[in-house]
Amino acid sequence: MGKSLTKSQIVDHVAKGADISKKVAAQILDDLANLAYKEAKNAFTLPGLGKLVLSNRKARTGRNPQTGEAIKIPAKKVVKFRVAKAAKDAILGKSAPAAKKK
C-alpha cells in the first residue's frame, strides 16, 4: 500500500490544477474542512466523494477482552462518512451486476 498524500502535496496539486497560488489553494481546503465540520450535523455532501453524517449509537453491552467481563457501553454520537457510488466505481472499477437468483 502506498503512502497517502500530505496536505502540502494536495495543496500543490490543487494549486497547479486550478492555476492558483498555493496559499489560495490551502485556504480553500481549510474553508472546505471547516464548513464540513460545521454542517456535519445536517449531513455534508461532497459531490463525487461522499457524505459526512452524524449518527446516534444506542447503548449496548460489550465485553472486556482481557477478563471477559460484561460492560455497559453508553450511547453516543459518531461521525460517519458514506462513500458515493461514483467514488466507488472510479476507485474499484465498474463491476458487472450480480446475477439474480430465481
One-character DSSP codes across 51-73: EEEEEEEPPEEEE-TTT--EEEE
- Judged against a pLDDT cut of 70, whether residue 102 lies above it is answered with no
pLDDT, the chain, mean: 89
The C-alpha atoms of residue 43 and residue 79 are separated, in whole angstroms, by 10
Domains of the chain: 1-40 (no CATH), 43-90 (4.10.520.10)
Q: What is the reported pLDDT for 40?
A: 87
- How far lies 31's CA from each of 14, 24, 26, in Å? 14, 10, 9
Query: Which amino acid is present at 33?
Result: A
Query: Phi then psi for 60, rounded to 5 degrees?
Result: -150, 170
- Judged against a pLDDT cut of 60, whether residue 30 lies above it is answered with yes
Summarised one tens digit per residue, pLDDT across range 64-101 is 999 999 999 999 999 999 999 999 999 998 765 555 55
Q: What is the reported pLDDT for 2?
A: 74
**β-bridge mates for residue 53, sequence order:** 80
Give the rounded percent of residues in the chain with a pLDDT score beyond 90. Answer: 81
